Chain A
Amino acid sequence: MYNIPSWGPFKRSSVSAYSLIIALVLLCTGASAQQSASAPVDPETVKALLQRMQALEDEVRTLRSQVQTLTAAQANPAQPNTKEPEIASAVAAASSAPAQVAEEYGSHSQPRPMEMNTPRLQLRGYGDVSWNAKDLAGTTNSFALGQLNLFITSRLSDKASFLAETVIEADQGTNEFGIEPERLLFLYSVNDHLNFSVGRYHSSIGFYNTAYHHSALMQTTMRRPFLFQFEDNGGILPIHSVGVSATGVISSRLGMHYVAEIGNGRSARTTISNPVQNVTDDNNGKAFNLGLYFRPDALRGLQFGFSGYHDHVTPLLSPNLTEDIYAGHVVYQTTHFEFLNEAVLLHHAPDSGAQATNIPGFYSQISKRFGNYRPYFRYEYVNVPARDLLYSDVALLHGPRAGLRYSLTESAAFKVEFGRDMRRNLPSVNLVGTQLSFAF
Chain B
Amino acid sequence: MTIKKTISSLVVLVGLLQIGSEGSEQIPASIKSSNDIAVVINPKNDTSELSSADLRKILLGDRRFWKNKAPLTIVLREPGSRERQDVIASLGMSDAEFGQHWRDRVFRGEVSAVPLSVPSNGMASQVVRDNAGGVTFVLGRNLSPDLKVLKIDGKLPGEAGYPLK
List, in ascending order, chain B residues with CB within 8 A of A183's CB.
109
| Interchain nearest-CB distance for B102 vs A (Å) | 8
List, in ascending order, chain A residues with CB within 8 A of B115's CB.
99
Is the pair A410, B64 in contact by a Cβ cutoff of 8 Å?
Answer: no
A residues 1-37 in Cβ contact with B at 8 Å: 1, 6-7, 9-10, 12-14, 16-17, 20-21, 24
Task: Kindly list 6 other residue pairs between chains A and B, CB separation below 8 angstroms, not including A14-B5, A48-B141.
Answer: A10-B9, A56-B122, A58-B121, A95-B116, A96-B130, A107-B78
A-B contact list, 29 entries, CB within 8 Å? A13-B6, A14-B2, A16-B2, A16-B6, A21-B10, A24-B10, A51-B142, A56-B20, A57-B120, A58-B121, A58-B122, A59-B122, A61-B120, A62-B122, A96-B127, A96-B130, A98-B112, A98-B113, A98-B116, A106-B78, A106-B118, A158-B73, A183-B109, A191-B65, A192-B63, A197-B109, A211-B108, A252-B63, A335-B97
Answer whether residue A103 sits at the interface, using C-beta atoms and an 8 A cutoff. Answer: yes
Q: How far is the CA of A265 from the CA of B9 in the complex (A)?
A: 70
Answer whether residue A387 sits at the interface, using C-beta atoms and an 8 A cutoff. Answer: no
Answer whether residue B160 sits at the interface, using C-beta atoms and an 8 A cutoff. Answer: no
Answer whether residue A189 sits at the interface, using C-beta atoms and an 8 A cutoff. Answer: yes
List, in ascending order, chain A residues with CB within 8 A of B107's CB.
124, 151, 213, 215, 218
Q: How large is the interface on A (under 10, 10 to 19, 20 to 34, 35 or more residues)?
A: 35 or more
Is the pair A17, B2 in contact by a Cβ cutoff of 8 Å?
Answer: yes
| Interchain nearest-CB distance for A119 vs B (Å) | 11
Is the pair A97, B116 in contact by a Cβ cutoff of 8 Å?
Answer: yes
Nearest residue (CB) in B for A15 is B2
| Interchain nearest-CB distance for A410 vs B (Å) | 5
Known: A9-B5, A62-B122. A102 touches B142 (CB 8 A): no
Known: A62-B123, A92-B131, A218-B107. A99 touches B112 (CB 8 A): no
List, in ascending order, chain B residues with CB within 8 A of A274's CB.
none
List, in ascending order, chain B residues with CB within 8 A of A191's CB.
65, 69
A residues 82-110 in Cβ contact with B at 8 Å: 88, 91-92, 95-100, 102-103, 106-107
| Interchain nearest-CB distance for A251 vs B (Å) | 13
Question: How would you classify the secondary structure of chain B's contact residues: helix, strand, loop or mixed?
Answer: helix
Answer whether residue A161 sits at the interface, using C-beta atoms and an 8 A cutoff. Answer: yes
Is the pair A17, B106 in contact by a Cβ cutoff of 8 Å?
Answer: no
Answer whether residue A223 sits at the interface, using C-beta atoms and an 8 A cutoff. Answer: no
Is the pair B131, A192 in contact by a Cβ cutoff of 8 Å?
Answer: no
Answer whether residue A74 sits at the interface, using C-beta atoms and an 8 A cutoff. Answer: no
Is the pair A335, B122 in contact by a Cβ cutoff of 8 Å?
Answer: no
Q: How far is the CA of A187 from the CA of B46 in the complex (A)?
A: 27
Residue interface mask A327-371, B partner, CB < 8 A = 1:
000000001000000000000000000000000000000000000
